[in-house]
Structure 1
């Protein structure tokens, strides 16, 4: 058997787009023969899936699995809304969410190794789905929410919310809908992170200083801006989506409901999308590439 060197692993990685450990494994199984390793990878579909991995997957769907006092939110990404609505994609997402909840894990690497009912791993099922659908598909993130009372709400495919609460069940459900619509960052002002507050204060100070007002006025302007921000992002301070005449805090008090925790997932949060290339730009790029050869 030929010794597996770093340069061989690098060459296979460059040619297939697979991760380093996958390339090393493929080379070991092929006895150090790079061409045989590539053939084996093509047969298994891994090489094709790896090429798709370069495509940005910013669309997709949120799936929620619940069992007793636990609920798991899962985001699985694809490239287009069309695939997000595909029954094969939905079936894959549901199976992954159920497996992750059963294993009590939210780590993407661990989820990839979980076994599904048919005996395949999540990663093997993902690769098979990429082959079938022809788009990059990625299991992006997951989180688990626990509590004696859980309210679960999905708004279409793109937004999912789980609320852990105590008190009135109808209010819990209403809160989940509210959170989906208004996207608060914390239950109360004390829950807003110092980082977010510092960033908002910095922005407010820059705007206030530009006004040319005296320092004491600037300070009041900054305080007012931060309060306005808190009114917009704190759950208890927001106008209730079901009754705009009331704030969420009023509804909580009236119904004897308290919120322990909530999690809101929205598809594509934080993923930078590439702007689509126009036909003219595509032609120009092709011409430039041809001229460079």
Structure 2
């Protein structure tokens, strides 16, 4: 009889959503063969969740009462129907809260709490669909700073989660309203970086190489001196940075000014960092 390890049991639980003892019993009956155990359980009516893609779900935000700790989490499901389930929303809210006040930096760290993992597993069994705690980010604000969250949910309150969520940290006094405006902008424009100096050299070099080839192939540039072509490339590169850098983006409510200019209108304010999640953007989709 092969030894049944905790890892083997965990894999089978992931595949089936069953409890630990049920999985251990199935593995014992199949001498530790995972696939045979899955097949055995399928014959008993248990669905194999291993090949299903959890690409739907919710983004949920949480900020502690003191305003110093915040988290943004993504909880994934197979269908949008399940994402509207009250049990699913309750699980997402709990994961966001535990992520904000905990110390771990990954979903596995947060689910290391036996009580929380038990609740997670029970919810999965109740819903009967593959559910994955996709990712999280946690901000612990520096003294005096402000955390603001925004979840885009046209059909209901932000406490029900949504398809896009933003968490932002700002410095300065009376910046909550500014933070909400910027967070809403981020949810729409989806910048990748806060400021131009945050853009890594590899990204800049790759884009510049592409733009150089495009510019050189442009009939309008035929016969132009090298410095003219270089100036055109730089102009296009600046436009690219304006699209991916938050402070360089045109503000969605007034495109005559940038987000950076909007921030400067609030004395002493600055954006420290931000995170933006969109449901399913990091989920590997099934082929075919």
User: Is residue 2:186 matched to residue 1:187?
Assistant: no
Match of 1:291 in 2: none
Deviations for 1:150-181, whole angstroms, at most 9, x for unmatched residues? 11111121111111112332212211111111
Q: Structure 2 residue aligned with 1:230, among 241, 259, 265? A: 241
Greater helix share, structure number: 1
Q: Secondary structure at the match of 2:130?
A: coil
Cα distance between partner residues in 1 of 2:37 and 2:99? 31
Matched, 1:66 2:63: yes
Which sections of structure 1, spanning at least 5 residues, go unmatched? Answer: 278-293
SS in 2 for 1:255: coil
Deviation at 1:266, TM superposition (A): 1.0
Distance 2:31 2:52 in 1: 29
Once the two structures are superposed, the pairs formed by residues 1-293 of structure 1 within 5 Å of their partners are: 2-4=1-3, 17=15, 26=24, 30=28, 33-34=31-32, 38=37, 48=46, 51-67=48-64, 68=66, 69-115=68-114, 119=115, 121-122=116-117, 124-147=118-141, 148-156=145-153, 157-167=162-172, 168-211=175-218, 213=222, 214=224, 215-256=226-267, 257-274=269-286
**1: distance between equivalents of 2:27 and 2:79?**
36
> Are the counterparts in 2 of residues 58 and 79 from structure 1 also a CA contact under 8 Å?
yes
State the alpha-carbon separation in 2 of the partners of residues 33 and 27 from structure 1: 10
**Normalising to structure 2: TM-score of the pair?**
0.76
State the secondary structure of the residue aligned to 1:244.
Answer: strand
State the distance in 2 between where 1:263 and 1:13 align.
31
Question: 1:216: how far off?
Answer: 3.5
Q: CA deviation at 1:84?
A: 0.9
TM-score scaled by length of structure 1: 0.75
- Number of aligned residues: 257
Q: CA RMSD in A?
A: 3.6
For residue 126 of structure 1, report the CA deviation from its aligned partner.
3.5
Deviation, structure 1 residue 227: 0.6
The structure-2 alpha-carbon separation of the partners of 1:13 and 1:191, relative to structure 1 and needing over 3 Å to count, comes to: closer
Please give the alpha-carbon distance, in whole angstroms, between the structure 2 residues aligned to 1:175 and 1:197.
25
